[in-house]
Structure 1
Amino acid sequence: MSSNPDDGDGFWADSTSTAVFPGDTGELDFDERRALTAILKNHYISGADHSAEWKTLMESESSIVRRLNELFLHLHVDREREVAFKRQVIAEDGRKYPTLLRNATYTKEETILMVFLRTRFRSEHVGTTTEVFVDRDELRGAVESYRPANATDHSGDARRADNAIDSLLKSRVLQTTPDPERLRISPVIEVLMPVPRLRELLDWLEQAGTGGQTTAPATEGVEA
């Protein structure tokens, strides 16, 4: 149990209390609240990028899960890859629960990149290789490979590809490196895109071909 911090107004809780501010009736200690906040705030947390929060989650998982369940949220924890993220609870009996998260939908360009990154990560994350990188030009090339042969809006296509890359950076599926043209693929890609989902999106890309839908099938209950 961590010690409770001063709130800036001279407030200190006694050593047996979990209160961290005046009038606080919460039951989680400061570290547990910080971990819970990180899970709610971020698309995901990982042992690599959120070491303190991940450690607390491993020590207090049941307490944190109870709080998420009260918000109709599940917690998905992958201990092997040290990744955790929240999902909306979907009622099996048809009931409608209040929702905090939106269904995740990807543009065609984002879908192409997700499939490309999942395939790259799976092929290169073997043995002692712990990090997998990709260049921006490779990502642009992956998107370009799905453009219609008669496409004429090259500047628009390039903009959409760059927007898709930026979107995956924002959600931290891709992560920056000291080289702005070289990006790291987060291990979360394997958790977000299990094999059945990968196959579903591959089928969708084949059917979408060079036209048709511009957004991929939604993933229910996942923060977009």
Structure 2
Amino acid sequence: MAGRQYGSRSVGWPQRSHRNVSVYRKDSAVTENAFPDPLVPEPETPDDGRLWETDTGTLHEQSRRALLQLLRGPYISADRHSKLWTRILVDETMIRSRLADLFLTLVVDHEREVAFVRNVDEVDAPRVVRAQNLTHIQTILLLHLRQRLMQDAEQARAVVDEGETIEQLAVFEGVGGTDPAQFENRIRSAWNKFTDLGILYETTTPGRFEISPVLAVIFGAEEITAIRREYDKILTEQLPFEDEANDDEEDDQ
């Protein structure tokens, strides 16, 4: 709006100031926080994905825990590690990539809901996972457990009794001149080892153990057939077992 003319001078209307003005309520105390220092950076938000201050990882926390459990071994199952199994399903591609950086491959059986790692199948690749060298007695028990697992495939769980299993394996007791007492001790030792490896785990009933479904994945049908053929020959021809002295020896290759 134009100003009025007074003589030779033009007087305009007073202009309003457009400067921002901060208004504070009278009942509100004005503190230093009301006037933040522009030189002090704003604190980082806690939702930036980091688990600690210098964390540079990109995986979800549970995915990292799943990765760690896979490296520790022997496996992850939906029954025993439900949260970690779920994270494998969610982040399988990223977890598989992290393992590949370490010359490892991820094996996931969705039907049996188990996962574990293996060395990559390359001649020049370093062997990260140490292979367990099984004795003859351990292999006999392993074959028996896998057969029971397959027989109970339609059941929710495959459960075996330790005492009954030892009796069922007594057919191998005298093979090659094996001492009966020594044979039983070795079977029990093998049983304890498979419990430590997670192939067997205790139930609430004393002496009763559940067979892990991972056993069906680790040893395929062709491998089991070849091993069983060899042990049928040992049983038929009464061939002696090899020296069992190095029961706990592992292969570093």
Matched with 1:3 is: none
TM-score, length of structure 2 as denominator length: 0.73
Asked whether the equivalents of residues 124 and 132 of structure 1 are also in contact (C-alpha less than 8 Å), the reply is yes
Give CA deviations for 1:79-109 in whole Å, capped at 9, x if unaligned: 0110101000121xxx421222112321111
Higher RCO structure (Cα 8 Å, ≥6 apart): 1
Q: Is the 8 A contact 1:177 1:183 kept in 2?
A: yes
State how far apart, in whole Å, the 2-side matches of 1:78 and 1:142 are. 30
Alpha-carbon distance, 1:119 to partner? 1.1
Cα 1:28–1:145 shift into 2, 3 Å = same
In the alignment, residue 56 of structure 2 is paired with which amino acid?
T
Cα deviation for residue 150 of structure 1 reads 7.2
Q: Identify the residue that residue 142 of structure 2 maps to in structure 1.
A: 114
Cα contact 1:131–1:185 (8 A) shared by 2: yes
1:211 aligns with 2:246: no
Unpaired segments ≥5 residues, structure 2: 1-42, 245-250
Q: Structure 1 stretches of 5 or more lacking a match?
A: 1-11, 216-221
Query: What is the DSSP-based 3-state SS (H/G/I as helix, E as strand, rest coil) of the residue aligned with 1:63?
Result: helix
Alignment correspondent of 1:145: 171
Q: Between Structure 1 and Structure 2, how many residues are aligned?
A: 201
Q: Does 1:69 align with 2:69?
A: no
**Which of 58, 71, 94 is residue 27 of structure 1 equivalent to?**
58
Q: Percent identity?
A: 29
Q: Does 1:194 align with 2:194?
A: no
Asked if residue 166 in structure 1 is aligned to residue 192 in structure 2, the reply is: yes
Paired residue secondary structure (1:84):
strand
Q: Residues of 1 paired with 2:124 and 2:54: CA distance?
A: 34
Q: Is the 8 A contact 2:173 2:180 kept in 1?
A: no
Whole-Å separation in 1 of the counterparts to 2:101 and 2:176? 52
Please identify, of 192-201 and 15-24, the stretch whose mean Cα deviation from structure 2 is larger: 15-24
Change (3 A) 1:106 1:71: same
Q: Distance in 2 between matches of 1:147 and 1:154?
A: 6
Question: What do you get for the CA RMSD once the two structures are aligned?
Answer: 2.3
Offset at residue 190 of structure 1 (A): 1.1
1:154-181: CA deviations, max 9, x gaps? Answer: 3322211100000111111111011221
1:144 CA displacement: 2.3
TM-score for both structures, normalised by structure 1: 0.81
